[in-house]
């Protein structure tokens, strides 16, 4: 399902973004990495507004990965301080804009003051439905899958599932109740998913931008939407459907 944006073009229902390149953005400018992360957070706030403008219903931002803990201690500390500052300064604006916030990942294992701030923001925005902002915090897809299996085993007395399909499995993921992303964007020129929504993104269009995240603006977002619009989305059609389409195409070209 797509919505019309302000330009009249169709927008994907759910856009997920791997916000990459903050450190390199800072290095190229002779600035400390902390400054790059600060600018990255500022841009995240801008992109939320841009997504609303273009009619996106769900926006997921890869905010803090489980791998971030492996960075130098000083940088991890800076990331946590910036994240907490973001929550303090931006919470009221999200409420004013009627943005509903969801958090996926092991955010409750973050420092208590951050975890409590997330829980308050989730509660304060729970009744909104204009834009759903999903923040992936202390998140990795592999970790999510492991935790999902644990939840499923605990939900059965014997821990055994005789019958299991994708619908049932997806109902136990962190993203349960949230549609799969139609478009995944990664900035900074890296062409990989980095442990992000690996199951949910099975049929997503992927757009890789060479622009560092702090510089990823409205024009770049629009280019990603145009890329999405140009792609034919097939979503794993059945063999009967594909055969029927092939016959129709053959008849058209040989009539």
Give the DSSP letter of residue 233.
-
Which residue in the list 68, 124, 195, 215 is annotated as catalytic? Answer: 68
In contact, 136 and 60? CB cutoff 8 Å: yes
Which residue in the list 5, 20, 22, 174 is annotated as catalytic? Answer: 20
How far separated are the first and last CA of the chain, in Å rounded?
A: 34
Non-local CB neighbours of 156 within 8 Å, separated by 6+ positions = none
Tokens standing for residue 163: 């019958």
Tokens standing for residue 178: 């949230």
Task: Confirm whether 20 is a catalytic residue.
Answer: yes
3-state secondary structure 141-204: HHHHHHHHHHHHHHCCCCCCCCCCCHHHHHCCCCCCCCCCCCEEEECCCCCCCCCCCCCCCCCC
Q: Return d(Cα 127, Cα 111) in angstroms, integer.
A: 26
Q: Return d(Cα 121, Cα 93) in angstroms, integer.
A: 11
Residues known to be catalytic: 20, 68
């Amino acid at each position: 399902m797509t919505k019309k944006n302000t330009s009249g073009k169709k927008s994907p229902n759910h856009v997920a973004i791997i916000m990459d390149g903050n450190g390199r953005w800072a290095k190229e400018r002779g600035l400390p990495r902390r400054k790059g992360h600060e600018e990255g957070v500022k841009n995240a706030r801008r992109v939320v507004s841009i997504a609303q403008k273009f009619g996106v219903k769900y926006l997921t931002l890869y905010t803090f990965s489980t791998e971030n803990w492996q960075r130098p201690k000083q940088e991890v500390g800076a990331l946590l301080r910036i994240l907490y500052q973001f929550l303090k300064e931006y919470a009221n604006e999200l409420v004013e804009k009627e943005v509903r916030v969801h958090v996926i990942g092991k955010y409750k294992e973050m420092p208590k003051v951050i975890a409590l701030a997330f829980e308050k923001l989730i509660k304060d925005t729970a009744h909104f439905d204009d834009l759903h902002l999903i923040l992936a915090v202390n998140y990795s897809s592999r970790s999510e899958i492991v935790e999902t299996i644990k939840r499923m085993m605990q939900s059965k007395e014997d821990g055994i599932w005789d019958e299991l399909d994708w619908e049932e499995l997806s109902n136990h993921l962190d993203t349960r109740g949230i549609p799969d992303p139609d478009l995944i964007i990664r900035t900074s020129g890296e062409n990989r998913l980095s442990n992000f929504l690996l199951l949910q993104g099975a049929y997503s269009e992927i757009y890789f931008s060479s622009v560092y995240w702090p510089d990823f603006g409205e024009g770049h977002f629009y280019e990603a939407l145009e890329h999405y619009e140009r792609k034919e989305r097939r979503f794993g059609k059945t063999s009967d459907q594909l055969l029927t389409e092939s016959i129709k195409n053959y008849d058209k070209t040989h009539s």
